[in-house]
Structure 1
Amino acid sequence: MIEDFKILLVEDDSIEIMKLRRTLTTLKLPHKIIEAENGQEAIEALKNNDFSPNLILLDLNMPRMNGIEFLKYLKTDEKLKLIPTVILTTSENNMDILNCYRLGISGYIIKPAKFVEYQEKLKSLFDYLSYNELAKAS
């Protein structure tokens, strides 16, 4: 079981960033978050040799480089493509969902409106990943 994940959160909405931080605090999870406001910033964070995340949480709708563009880059890199990547977005568009799975994501979570439901979904994700051998190997 991983005691604390290193999470790359690719999200441009400060309220969503606060929701994730609040969820980790409420669930008493010591995971470290590195934030990137778009895919381009995420690539820069991943190029930093001091940072290798166990998980990428990725929004789709962002400026400069959106989530799909970032995924295309990520999945062409032999080392980076193995990092478990979960989409965390408001998009319920079936084409987005199918495109993301075709690109090799680990999961697709639609952000619920209610914070309690958001926490439940994230808790389930972190519980699962704490037993996932790929997340441990990243």
Structure 2
Amino acid sequence: MSTSEYTTPERVQILLVEDNPGDVRLTEEAFKQGRIENDLHVVSDGTKALEFLNREGEYADAPRPDLILLDLNLPRTDGEEVLEELKEDPDLRSIPVIVLTSSRAEEDIVKSYELHANAYLTKPVDPDEFIEAVRAFEQFWFSVVRLPPEVE
């Protein structure tokens, strides 16, 4: 196999669903330092995430994300509800979802995987460790893993 088979799209579209401005800034910083060209789209609650994914309202022209980073503890519609709706939708279910949350609760981990999350990462408290964690999964998801193409 040639290495060209593992190239990523020109720009990776990432949807970050996160209500904590500090975590948004750290995630943006981590992706800026990374090697993957990306467009990071940020929404601050689960309702906006579903509108973005369904291209509704102000998100009518939103791109389809290649990957979703989803916090569980969100205002309005929580992360579990977003994950459940996303994975029930035949047009969206193939988008990988990484739960990125502060919760270490075993029931949250189990429930996330039952709802078909692709990975569950607990946010490190230390900002440098947080950035390193984001960069590590960026490397894995965009350099090692082959993401599904958008189905027309």
Unaligned runs of at least 5 residues, structure 2: 1-6
- Tell me the equivalent position of 1:14: 21
Deviation at 1:137, TM superposition (A): 1.8
The corresponding residue for 1:58 is 70
Equivalent residues, number: 137
1:136 Cα deviation after fit: 4.8
Alignment partner of 1:81: what SS? Answer: coil
Amino acid corresponding to residue 124 of structure 2 in structure 1? P
Separation in structure 2 between the aligned mates of residue 136 and residue 123 of structure 1, nearest angstrom: 21
Change in 2 beyond 3 A, CA 1:52/1:8: same
Q: Structure 1 stretch 24-33 or stretch 85-94: which is displaced more?
A: 24-33
The CA distance in 2 between the partners of 1:136 and 1:116, in whole Å, is 31
Larger mean CA deviation between 93-102 and 31-40 belongs to 31-40
Aligned to 2:110: 98
Q: Displacement of 1:121 after TM fit?
A: 1.4
After the TM superposition, which residues 1-138 of structure 1 pair with which residues of structure 2 at under 5 Å, given as runs?
A: 1-2=7-8, 3-48=10-55, 50=61, 51-130=63-142, 131-133=144-146, 135-138=147-150
- Superposed CA RMSD: 1.5
Counterpart code for 2:137: L
Q: Residues 51-70 of structure 1: CA distance to partner in whole angstroms, max 9, x if unpaired?
A: 10000000010110010011
Q: Which runs of 5+ in 1 are unaligned?
A: none
Please state how far the C-alpha of 1:118 moved relative to its aligned partner: 1.4
- Counterparts of 1:19 and 1:123, CA distance in 2: 11
SS of match in other structure, 2:117: coil
Deviations 1:56-98 (A, max 9, x none): 0000101100100111111110011110000010000000000
Q: Distance in 2 between matches of 1:44 and 1:106?
A: 21
